[in-house]
Amino acid sequence: MEDKTDVLIVGAGPVALFAIFELGLLNIKCHLVDNLDKPGGQCSELYPEKPIYDIPARVMITGQELTDELMKQAKPFEPIFHLGQQVEKILKKNEKEWLIETSNGKTIIAKCIVIAAGAGSFVPRKPPIEGIENYENKNVFYSIKDKSIFKNKTVLIAGGGDSALDWTNELSNIADVKLIHRRKEFRAAPDSVNKMLELENKNLVTFMLGQLTKIKQGKAKPIEVHFTHDNKINKIEIDYLLPFFGLKMELGPIANWGLNLNQNLIEVDTEKFETSTPSIFSIGDINYYPGKLKLILSGFHEAALMAQACFKYCYPDKKNIFRYTTSSKDLHKKLGIK
């Protein structure tokens, strides 16, 4: 059985969630497809407890709090989510509609498609250690969803980027944290690096030089990790290993949709954020245009302009009258404001 909607949004991260709101103000209904099992994208999956400082009017908000607030904002417009699946195929059904098929066999008919898939599907870069998959989601994690499980435990964090340094600093408050990297030079923000070095000086964090080579069952603690430095093999027993070697992006089926790409990013105009294919739009980190800034707030701006452009495809015989949410009684009614 086919579902019908005005707009199919590919992705369910913060920018996609705000797009529901902007489209909803124009009476445009949405369905969303995301390969994760919950809305929120990277913010929920990778950084639910990580603080974000550049959301307007919020001094600080965590990734999960931002997701929760955006979901509340979108609720009046009753979006339909299709989670744990990805869009496999799109076909032009007729002059005005697209036929979309998902990996779970779902079929959706929509007038417009909005690609808000972040930077595509994110896959963690795993250390080249044989048998590491046997410990994943038990003693090895590539992201942190609940930091409380590490309380009073021995945690080895591997990596030299923002995630490795940020979580080293954060978990040092509740756990015995050790950071391992191949050199004492980091790719993280200077403030994070300085904080880690201060914690090391206070013996609140242990820094080790080396590269991971092996993992096996431990004796005194759950796992034993081997690492090399200066051609010497070292061993350490720990409760948890957190390899933060970054993520690799996979565009997946989107790469085969015939859209103009610029180094795996989708080219759009800056008036409507429409792609090279009419009625297909792209917003957020997955798009490209001169001067692009990969910020959530930039994606919010793009979502607002995209929604205005979608109106002509969804209501070709109607005039779009721009209204402000502060003064429009019609919009207040949509938002449930008395």
Could you write out the DSSP letters of every residue in 50-117?
A: SEE--STT-S-EEHHHHHHHHHHHHGGG--EEEES--EEEEEE-SSS-EEEEETTS-EEEEEEEEE--
Query: Which pLDDT score, from 0 to 100, does residue 147 have?
Result: 93
CA atoms within 13 A on the CB side of 18: 18
Query: Which pLDDT score, from 0 to 100, does residue 119 have?
Result: 64
Query: Which pLDDT score, from 0 to 100, does residue 123 have?
Result: 65
Q: How confident is the model over 311-328, as pLDDT tens digits?
A: 999 999 999 989 899 988
Q: How confident is the model over 162-189, as pLDDT tens digits?
A: 889 999 999 999 999 999 999 999 998 8
pTM above 0.75, yes or no: no
Those residues of the chain that have pLDDT short of 70 are 46, 119-123, 248-250
Query: Which pLDDT score, from 0 to 100, does residue 186 have?
Result: 95
Query: Which pLDDT score, from 0 to 100, does residue 22 have?
Result: 98
Closest CA to 45 of 67, 73, 23, 71: 67
- Axis-axis angle for helices 190-201, 162-171 (nearest 10): 40
